[in-house]
Structure 1
Amino acid sequence: MQQPPSHLPVADTGGIDWARVRADFPLLERQVHGKPLVYLDSANTGQKPGAVIEAVDDFYRRHNANVSRAVHALGTEATEAYEGARDKLARFLNVRGDELVLCSGTTFALNLVAYSWALPRLQPGDAIVLTRMEHHANIVPWQLVAQRTGAVIKVAELDDRGELDLAQLYGLLTPEVKVLAITHVSNVLGTVNPVREICRQARKRGIVTVVDGSQAAPHRALDIAAIGCDFYAITGHKMAGPTGTGALWARREHLDAMPPFLGGGEMIKEVRFEGTVFNDAPHKFEAGTPNIAGFIGLGAAVDYLSSIGMANIEAREQELLTYATQALSTIDGLRILGTPREKAAVISFLVEGAHAHDLATLLDLEGVAIRSGHHCAHPLMHHFGVPATCRASLAFYNTFDEVDAFVAAIHKVRRLLG
């Protein structure tokens, strides 16, 4: 079992053989441009273990049928596996399965809340509070709804560390505010927001809370019931599951009161030309044939993550984050954006004299995959006065040797750039 360097604190990760865990991910054995792949873009999408790939393959090879529409054996098997994935995900999040809408991901989930819950309720003079660190998926839907309702948007700002200015945030929560939409973990800074306390403060003021959990679900144990929010959205492909999967959790009273977002098959009880009787939630929000194989794969991903233990995953990633941050801090001219006290394993950085896209392109030639750009967070880039950054995002399947290779590649690129 690979150990962290001796100068780092060793977390209790349950005696897990991380080399064997890494071997579960076939793509990580690739070479890129003749170099061993160093994949540091897990905040963009997580890699998939063999168990997930095999679950999807097995569905198509042995069980492929549509769900909830056939009494034959294949249809029953498909329905049981699909609903079984919902139950697994509900346990993973500590919520009720009948409060969990399966959808294509966080973007769809947030749009569902904006259009089905907020649009019918907001009026001119109402306000929506967002934060400076939100992903575009948690900004644009609210802008569109505000334009249609006459509501306004207020913005909670950050301090120099990349943490929310909580005093300023709470000062924004005035009586006209109806919605507070906030990320649990920043996809750029790695900042872990104290969403439980923030939701408590909003609830005291009668404000509905919407939490973007895309960057939290893959990296830490979640207890949505304890957070106390009204809505919580996740994306499956960031948590070792297939693309096109995700979920929205919502309080039952909201789901019952919200009209359907999309119309079609599966979300109805009876259709007549005179009118339609809709299905009960969550199914009334799941029109059409779902991504059945994808959700079966997501169920396998939940099983896989749970077998390792989310506490162990978080501890492993914190070790890697500490090591990488210390190593990067030795590089002259390298600036890390975001130094919050509680941080996920995401490092956004700039290197003096190198454009973010150029640096990422040259690192790719060394086999190192990082993200460059605005990371779907233009307002945050404006806050720091930069057009783009590089971002290295670590996962539990990464290694200390990979961090060393990443740092060595930056040194090599700096020499090439002069």
Structure 2
Amino acid sequence: MTTSDQDKAGSFSPQMIADVAEDARGALPSAPAGAPDVAALAQMANEFFRALPGQTGQFSGAQSAVTLPSMAPQFGATPASMTAAPYTDRLPSEANVQQMPSSFQPELSASPVSANPAPYSGAGFPQHEGQSAPAEYGASPFSLPMPSFDLPFPSFEAALPAIPRMDALPTEEDVNAALNSVSSLYFLENAGALSRPAAAKPSPPTAAGISPALLPDLQLSRKQFDVGAVRRDFPILQERVNGKPLIWLDNAATTQKPRSVIDRISYFYEHENSNIHRAAHELAARATDAYEGARQKVARFLNAPSVNEVIFVRGATEAINLVAKSWGKRHIGKDDEIVISWIEHHANIVPWQMLAAETGARLRVAPVDDDGQILLDEFEKLLNPRTRLVSVTQVSNALGTITPTRQIVQMAHRYGAKVLVDGAQSVSHMSTDVQVLDCDFFVFSGHKVFGPTGIGVLYGKPDALADSPPWQGGGNMIVDVTFEKTIYHAPPARFEAGTGNIADAVGLGAAIDYVEQLGMENIARHEHDLLIYATKWLQTIPGLRLIGTAKEKASVMSFVLDGYKTEEVGAALNKEGIAVRSGHHCAQPALRRFGVETSVRPSLALYNTYGDVDALIAVLRKLKNIGA
């Protein structure tokens, strides 16, 4: 097409789109059987541009500027007008890409690139004097509204003749119907209610469990949360396993990483890599700024009053051990008591057992009911003047139970006990506010919230940290060393001996940027809708028993299936590219409370879809010879 043609047209015309498609057709490799037709994609693109108000897209040289003000609310685009690389507005959908030849997929699945990126914008990068960021860092992952050509996987459709598909997000009627059929599940307005102050009063629900005042916000948020755009941010979701598209339902074990996190870590090693603090050179300053900037992001994420209350560790397990070896060893002695619950991860059992064995303290365990909920009356009976510490999970990794954390903190504080909250399974599903919880310690792992492995966080109140001696000795944590004595830094440096995991701390900061950009409330609504949908259809499988049916529950669905070992179910799902966890989930006491040694544990995250759930159900139905 010539420049004069562009000038005459003034906007995208159907003929111009057809010309572009014709040019592209000649450059494409021969499509295999079943691949989408290029002409069909061009026709769909024509219809897309005809539907735009005023056909505002215009050519400008080799780039195209597309202004879509009316679509910004739907896609959450900010700003509404932006510059994009040629033809990125017609990238095929995930389903199309997965049917293309593998050699062509990376080009199609590449993230759109801004033609004029602001330095380090959209990915949490600092701006260093005299440098500009590579072009691939310029575009925010949610800045480009793109059409979605959804083509469902035929194998999933064929396998689910009796199960209605929800290709769009469910309506209010869908949610109400699901709630009526799954009475044990909470609705979003009450999510985490047991972790809020006792004085908090939720809006009166309707008979269906939905507050009338919530409905407008509910609909708006569903429109804003575009799971297709989210999925494009996670490169690993383009993987194929056993010839099938990867479906990641093992999120309680670890979450996948968005491109912004991967790129941020790479950028650190390419442009900022240095040890931190004290060195008198530029890269040390950059690395220090990046590391301490990540600490600031964590403090904001947890609503911690000060960055000095945030300590970087390897993960939640190390954070709990730090508290046991430091505060615990100083303050817990013979005949003192430590209280935990029956549904704890091994990481919140074993360190306290070790401390009790060393000091002569007693470990006491709060019981749970048949749904997996902590019995608060029985819990309070365990508290007494000898209780020194209560350590409890906010969300059970094996059952998904959301525990009444705020009430537990209040009860424990009445007896003068400190409280540690294990947030490893909660931070990716609900907002966290350590000031509202009023806990003395809070721990979580970066890899459970879309960040890297090998990095985690311990939050501590200032008085608790000040009353905790160092648990490791070395560099970075000292003010002065002589052969006679050592003077230690105040927290947090006191607890960060040696060279820390600097790059992955920076990566965790990028992960926090990512979830905050999406909005935790939007994530929670999306996951909750999926949880209701999945639980409803799991209950239709004969011989399937759900383990953990608490009223307040996060996105974990443990189950056992009559006639099959849990590893057999996991293997059958893996053959279809579906990743779940099967085993004891490092929570053997919790599972034994329900009479089982192992379970199958699908777990959801922000990038999962109704199609993912359908695929899971299809395999289980096949195992039980339903609809075959």
1:329-353 deviations in whole A, cap 9, x for unaligned? 1111111011111100100001001
1:3 shift after superposition: 2.4
Cross-structure match for 1:365: 575
1:24-63 mapped onto 2 (5 Å cutoff) = 24-63=233-272
Kept after mapping to 1: 8 A contact 2:570/2:600: yes
Match of 1:199 among 390, 409, 432: 409
Aligned with residue 444 of structure 2, among 207, 211, 234: 234
Q: What is aligned with 2:302? A: 93
Please state if 1:144 is matched with 2:309.
no
**TM-score between both structures, scaled by the size of structure 1:** 0.98
The aligned counterpart of 2:168 is: 3
Opposite residue 48 of structure 1, the aligned amino acid is: K
Query: Which residue, out of 208, 221, 232, partners 1:23?
Result: 232
1:102 partnered with 2:267: no
Name 2:101's counterpart in structure 1: none
Identity of aligned residues (%): 46
Partners in 2 of 1:17 and 1:313 — Cα distance? 10
The answer as to whether partners of 1:363 and 1:413 remain within 8 angstroms in 2 is no
Instruction: State which structure, 1 or 2, has the greater radius of gyration over its C-alpha atoms.
Output: 2
Cα deviation digits, residues 38-78 of structure 1 (max 9, x gap) = 11001100110000000000001111111114110000000
Contact 2:331 2:388 in 1 (8 A): no
Aligned residue in 1 for 2:293? 84
- Distance in 2 (CA, whole Å) between partners of 1:5 and 1:196 is 32
In 2: Cα distance, 1:169 partner to 1:222 partner: 23
The residue aligned with 1:331 is 541
Q: Deviations over 1:260-317 (max 9, x none)?
A: 0111110111111111111110111001111111011000000000000011111111
Alpha-carbon separation, structure 2, partners of 1:89 and 1:259: 23
State how far apart, in whole Å, the 1-side matches of 2:563 and 2:278 are: 60
Q: Secondary structure at the match of 2:602?
A: strand
Deviation at residue 413 of structure 1 after TM alignment: 3.0
TM-score, structure 2 as length reference: 0.65
Gaps of 5+ in 1: none
Q: Which runs of 4+ in 1 moved over 4 A?
A: none
User: Where does residue 202 of structure 2 map in the other structure?
Assistant: none
2-side partners of 1:48 and 1:255: how far apart? Answer: 31
User: Which residue is equivalent to 1:129?
Assistant: 339
| Structure 2 residue runs without a partner (length 5+) | 1-147, 149-166, 177-214
How far apart, in 1, do the equivalents of 2:522 and 2:495 lie? 35
Q: How does 1:258-407 map to 2 (within 5 A)?
A: 258-407=468-617
The DSSP-based 3-state class of the residue aligned with 1:110 is helix
| In structure 1, C-alpha distance between the alignment counterparts of 2:402 and 2:353, rounded to whole Å | 24
Q: Is contact 2:370–2:594 with CA below 8 Å preserved after alignment?
A: no
Encode CA deviations 1:78-133: one digit per residue, 9 max, x unaligned: 00000000000100100021011111110000001111001122121111111000
Paired with 2:386 and 2:484, the residues of 1 have a C-alpha distance of 38
Q: Partner letter of residue 67 of structure 1? A: I
- Greater RCO (CA < 8 Å, at least 6 residues apart): 1
Secondary structure at 2:355 match in 1: helix
| 3-state SS of paired residue (2:613) | helix
In 2: Cα distance, 1:249 partner to 1:130 partner: 19
In 2: Cα distance, 1:231 partner to 1:201 partner: 16
CA distance in 2, matches of 1:228, 1:262: 27
**Which secondary structure state, in structure 1, belongs to the residue aligned with residue 175 of structure 2?**
coil
Match of 1:252 in 2: 462
- When the two chains are superposed, the root-mean-square deviation of aligned CA atoms in Å is 1.4
Do the aligned residues in 2 keep the contact of 1:132 with 1:157 (CA within 8 Å)? Answer: yes
Q: Deviations over 1:180-224 (max 9, x none)?
A: 110000001111111111101111111111110001111111111
**What residue in structure 2 maps to residue 161 of structure 1?**
371
Q: 2:134 maps to what in 1?
A: none
Equivalent residues of 1:370, 1:393 under 8 A apart: yes
Q: Are the aligned partners of 2:451 and 2:508 in contact in 1 as well (CA < 8 Å)?
A: yes
SS at match of 1:284: helix
* Pairwise CA distance, 1:5: 3.8
